[in-house]
Amino acid sequence: MSFRYFRSLENLYISAPEDLAPLLEEEEETRGLSSSLHQLEIKCCNWFFSPSQQSSSPLAFWKNLTSLQSLRMISCDDLVYWPEAEFRGLNSVKKIEISLCNMLVGPSHLPLSSSSSGDGELLPNLEHLLIQSCDGLQELPKLPASLRSLTVFHCPKLNSLTEDLRLLPNLEELDIVYCDGLLELPKLPASLRSLNVGFCPKINFLTEGLRHATSLESVKISNCPSLTSLPVDLGHLTALKKMDINKLPGLESLPQGLGQLAALECLSISTCSKLSSLPEGMQGLTALKKLSIKHCPRLSSLPEGLQRRLPGLQHLEIVGCPDLERQCKRGGPYWDLISRIPSTKILSERRCNFSASLSSFSCFRRPSTV
């Protein structure tokens, strides 16, 4: 096999258990890829990376990928440390996906050899990074300032995110899901627009992370059983339009600062079994158009401020909240307020379970992967 004649090759998929490193180490064999190859996927190849700083990998191949824009690495067991030497020349890469690389633990913390080191930032044009189902990952590498979206999915040993996140001036999307060991969020950058934290059973604190995230437009927090409260002061989130609070069994109340979210258009609260009341001051939600409250059985009433906002809603959904449902029915104390809402769904738990045609209410879409 030879790559020297593939001078127009744009997409390359390599899945080979045999060791092709000697071939790829010959610079002449891969030089033709330098100007053409835009997308590369490596799967089940256990010879592509250096498992330690002392062993070798086909660096000539990596050095010739000067036009590469998208890189996927799947089930590569020799990927133990963040491959700085291999990534050193990938100055055009915009998207990286690392999946099912269970031996990956994080950066090496050992100095690169003189032949592998270089000046300048690693991956200077990287915009999207997805790391998923890497069971051994303990630490994230240093991330470039160009990064716009970061997704970490199902990495159970990751117990903290890099403090450098707050230094990323272009980061707009952050998704952290199924990270069992994560204890808290670090300080987030002012550039962040979308935050999704889910299925992180140990995380119990959000205040410090959100303190500087003044550009947030969308926040989704779900399935975090140790989280018992939300930040008290939310007034700095002046751009926030969508908030989804879902399956927080320890949450007993929402902060008074919720009423400070003057730009909030969509609020969804679901499956918070201990939530017994909503805060006063919600008349400040002057932009609110959609309100969904589902499966919060202890909620029995709406605060006066929120009652004042009901006639201005475009959509109201109340499901599985028996006491609240009774007050919203015809003849109930809230009926005159909600009868003017163009779209309403008021359902009991029983009716919800047997209504196969009921469409789900959500104002959130899962961020696309890289």
Minimum mean pLDDT range among 37-51, 137-151, 228-242: 37-51
Q: At residue 296, does pLDDT exceed 80?
A: yes
Cα 196 from chain centroid (whole Å): 5
Residue 201 lies in a domain: no
Which of 126, 154, 182 lies at the terminal end of a domain, its last residue? Answer: 126
Q: Is 103 helix (H, G, I), strand (E, B) or coil?
A: coil
pLDDT in tens, 179-204: 999 988 889 999 999 999 999 999 98
**What CATH number does the domain containing 348 carry?**
3.80.10.10
114: which residues sit within 8 A by CB, 6+ positions away?
none
Token pair, residue 138, equals 């303990």
Average pLDDT rounded to a whole number, residues 250-259: 92
Q: Is residue 187 part of a domain?
A: no
pLDDT in tens, 51-110: 554 445 677 788 888 899 999 999 998 899 999 989 998 999 999 999 999 999 999 876
% of the chain with per-residue pLDDT over 70: 82
pLDDT at 168: 95
- Whether 82 maps to a domain, the answer reads yes
The β-bridge relationship of strands 39-43 and 242-246 is unpaired
84 phi and psi, to 5 degrees? -65, -45
Contact in structure between 246 and 221 (CB atoms under 8 Å): yes
CB 177 within 8 A of CB 152: yes
Is 80 exceeded by the pLDDT of residue 151? Answer: yes
Q: Is the pLDDT of residue 156 over 90?
A: yes
Confidence (pLDDT) at 51: 56
pLDDT for residue 33: 67
Mean of pLDDT over the chain = 86
Q: Which domain range does residue 304 map to?
A: 228-359
Q: Give per-residue pLDDT as tens, 213-252.
A: 999 999 999 999 999 999 888 889 999 999 999 999 999 9
Is 238 within a domain? Answer: yes
With tokens 């990287």, the residue in question is 126
End of a domain among 68, 95, 126?
126
**Residue at 211 is within a domain:** no
Q: Which residues pair with 142 in a beta bridge?
A: none
Structure tokens at 251: 């949450």
In a domain, 334, yes or no: yes
Position 288 in a domain = yes
pLDDT at 43: 93
115 band by pLDDT with thresholds 50, 70 and 90: very low
pLDDT of residue 47: 77
Residue 368, pLDDT > 50, answer no
The number of domains in the chain is 2
Helix (H, G, I), strand (E, B) or coil at 196: strand
What integer pLDDT is reported at residue 124 of this predicted model?
A: 96
Residues 71 and 61: their CA atoms lie apart, in Å, by 14
Report if residue 208 sits inside a domain: no
pTM: 0.88
- The answer to whether 282 and 309 are in contact (CB under 8 A) is yes
Categorize the per-residue pLDDT at 36 as very low, low, confident or very high, splitting at 50, 70 and 90: confident
Please report, for residues 272, 330, 355, the alpha-carbon distance to residue 358 in angstroms, rounded to integers and kept in the order given. 21, 21, 6
